[in-house]
A and B are shown apart, each in its own frame.
Chain A
Amino acid sequence: MIQIPTNATLLRELLTGFIRNEVQKTGLTKVVVGLSGGVDSALSAMLAAEALGPGNVLAVLMPYKSSHFDSQVHAEMIVEKSGIESLLVDISPQIDAYFEQFPGADSRRRGNKMARERMTILYDQSARWSGLVLGTSNKTELLLGYGTLYGDMASAINPLGDLYKTQVWALAEAIGMPQVIVGKVPSADLWVGQTDEGELGFTYREVDKLLYLMVDQRYTKPELVAAGFPERFVEDVAQRIMASQFKRRLPVIAKVSQRTIDRDFRYSRDWGK
C-alpha cells in the first residue's frame, strides 16, 4: 500500500516557522489570505494565526452571488475559531458589470475571472493592511495545473505548495479544523454544483499516490503501471503536468542581452534578507 507520509507535528513546526521567517524577512508582520471556506485556505489561515498571532492575519471573504451558502458559513467558522481579523467583499457587482459586456462567456471564463478578481482585491488589501498575500494552492493543484494563473495561484508566500491534498487533509485534522470543513467534497465553487474531482475525472486520494511516486519518488511510467496504476491514468496525469508547466514559471522572456532575468541573472528571492 502506498502511504504518503504526513508527520503532522513536524509539518506544523516547519510550516509555522516558514511563515514567521519569510514574513519577518520582508520587514512586515502580517498576512492577508483569501478565505473560501475550503480546507486549503482554512489551513493556510490557521497556520498563519499560529505563526504570527491571530491579530496579524486578515481573512478576506469574497463570495459571488452563486457561491454555495455553506462556503461563507465555513469561512466564518474559521475566523471565529482562530480569532483572526476578517473582511467581507462581495465580488458580484464587479463580475456582473464586466460580463454584461460578454454575456456569452462560459463558466470557465467566468470562474477564472472571479479568481483573478479576488486576487486584485487581496493585493489591494495587502497594501492597505501591510501584509503579505498568503498562498493556498497545494502541490496536487499546482502539479495538475488545476488553478487560475494570476488568480488563486498568485501569492507572496505559500505554506501549502509542497503538500499533496491528502497531506492537507491530514494536517487540517491534526490541528483541529472542524470536521465539517475537512470532510466536505472539494470544490472551487466557481459555478453551482462544481466539484474538483468531478471536473478532474479522478479523486485526490488516487492521484496523490500516483503523483507522490511519479514526482517525489521518481518512478518511471512502466514502474507506475507495475505498481498498479492504469496506464491511461498515468499518461493523463503526466500529460497534465507537462501541459501546465507554463503556470509554474515566469512569462517567457526573449533573450537579448548578456544577462537575462531568471536565465543568467540569477538571485534568490530572499536576496539581501
Chain B
Amino acid sequence: MSIRVAIAQINPKLGDLPANLGLYEEKIRLAIKERAEFLLFPELSLTGYFLRDTVPSVALTMKSVEMKKLKQLSREIPFVAGLVEESADHRFFNSSVYFEDGEVRHVHRKVYLPTYGMFDEQRYFARGDRIRTFDSKFGRMALLICEDLWHPSTIYLAALQGALAVLCPSASPLRGIVDDQVQDDNARYWEMLNRVYAETFSLFMIYGNRCGFEDGVGFWGGSEIVDPFGQCIAKAKYYEEDFIVAQVPFESVRRKRTMSPLLRDEDIDLTINELMRIRERPTQRKVVQKFKNSKVQRVEKAKGRKRQPSGISRKVQ
C-alpha cells in the first residue's frame, strides 16, 4: 500500500485553542486539496508548547467540544493532533491522538517527559505508561512523541509490535550552534536518529516538528519522512512554516525486511531474560535492602532492642 502523507509544520499560538483549531482546519483543507490521505500535526500544536500553568485551561477531555470538532474533521482525512488530554481522574497528559473516520482510534500519552535544562514537562504533565501500536486503515503504526524517541526502548517495542511506520510529533527547540553546519546541533542529532531508526528497524519515520518562537525559544522545523533504507524522501524547511506532502510506499518495508530480516531474527526471550536480570542488579537490590534495614531498625527500636550498626547489618544480609 502506498499513501500520500502530509506534514503540517505550523507555528501555533501559545495557549489559544480557538486560534489553533482554526489553523488545524486550514491545514486539513490544504491537505485535502493536495490529495493527501493522512496528515500529521506536531506535538502540542493545538495548544502551544511552553504552556506551564495554562495546561489545565487548554486540556481536552474525550467529551470536549473541540474533540468532537476534531472527530468531525477526520471524516474527511485521518490525522494526528497534538494536544493536552485530561483523563477522567483529572491528570493531564501530553498526548497525540489519531483520528480516523470520525473517531478517536488511538491515543499515545507521552511517556518520557523531559524535565531538565530548558524543559519542565514533568512538573505539568502526568506520564504515559504504555507503548502500543494501532491499526490504521493504511496499516500498523506507532505514535511516539518527541523525547520518547530518545529512549530506544520505545521504538524497539513499536517495531516488535509490527509498526510499519512510526509517527513522531515533535516540538523540538533549536539549540547549539556549530560551525560549518547548516542546521543547529539538535536538528543534526534528530536527523541522524531518524535515519538510524528507519534503517535499523526497517520502517518509515514520519517526523513532524513545529516552527516559530515561544519566549525566545525557536523550534527548528525540518519535518521529514525517512524510508526504511534511511533515505529522506521529503523534507520541510528549517525554522519556518511549511507544509510537505509525499508518497509513502509501505511496500518498501517488505523489500527492506526481505533484504535484511533483522526484526525476524530479534531474540525477544534473550532481551527479556537479560532485562529481568538487570532489574535485579546489585545497585537496585542495595536500595531495596537499605529500605528493608531501616524498617527492621524501626521495629527493633520500637521493641527496645539494641540496634546493630547499619553497616554490619547490611553485610550480614
Contacts and interface: CB of A to CB of B under 8 A. Distances in A.
B53 A270 contact: no
| Main DSSP-derived SS at the B contact region | loop
Interface string A257-270: 00000000111111
B216 A7 contact: no
Given A13-B239, A14-B239, A21 B50 contact: no
Contacts of B182: 9-10
B92 to A, nearest CB: 15
Contacts of B13: 272-273
Given A266-B53, A269-B215, A270-B215, A10 B177 contact: yes
B14 A17 contact: no
B183 A157 contact: no
Nearest to B120: A266
A180 interface: no
B55 to A, nearest CB: 10
B58 to A, nearest CB: 11
A37 B279 CA distance: 63
Nearest to A21: B213
Contacts of A266: 52-53
Interface string B1-39: 000000000010111100000000000000000000000
B250 to A, nearest CB: 35
Given A5-B179, A6-B177, A271 B54 contact: yes
B269 interface: no
A1 B218 CA distance: 30
Contacts of A14: 174, 184, 218, 239
A11 B51 CA distance: 26
B14 A5 contact: no
Nearest to B53: A266
Interface string A150-172: 00000001000000000000000
A22 B216 CA distance: 7
A7 B178 contact: yes
Contacts of B114: none
B273 interface: no
Interface in B53-79: 53-54
B259 to A, nearest CB: 37
A18 interface: yes
B101 interface: no
Contacts of A268: 14, 50-52, 214-215
Contacts of A11: 177
B240 interface: yes
Interface in A227-273: 265-273
B181 interface: yes
Contact of A272 (B15, B52, B174, B213): B15
A267 B50 CA distance: 8
A271 B48 CA distance: 9
A5 B13 CA distance: 32
A267 B178 contact: no
Contacts of B218: 14, 17-18, 21
A9 B180 CA distance: 9
A268 B214 CA distance: 8
B217 to A, nearest CB: 9
Given A17-B240, A272-B15, A273-B14, A7 B215 contact: no
A13 B221 CA distance: 13
Contact of B14 (A6, A9, A157, A272): A272
B258 to A, nearest CB: 41
A131 to B, nearest CB: 18
B236 to A, nearest CB: 15
18 contacts: A5-B179, A7-B177, A10-B183, A10-B184, A13-B239, A14-B174, A17-B239, A18-B216, A22-B213, A22-B216, A267-B53, A268-B52, A268-B215, A270-B14, A271-B54, A272-B13, A272-B14, A273-B14
Interface of B: 11, 13-16, 50-54, 174, 177-184, 212-216, 218, 239-240
Q: Enumerate the 8 nearest inter-chain pairs by beta-carbon distance, A residue then B residue, closest first.
A: A21-B213, A266-B52, A268-B50, A5-B179, A266-B53, A268-B215, A7-B177, A270-B14
Given A14-B174, A18-B218, A267-B54, 10 more contacts: A7-B180, A9-B182, A10-B183, A13-B239, A22-B216, A268-B14, A268-B50, A268-B215, A271-B14, A271-B15
Interface of A: 3, 5-7, 9-11, 13-14, 17-18, 21-22, 25, 157, 265-273
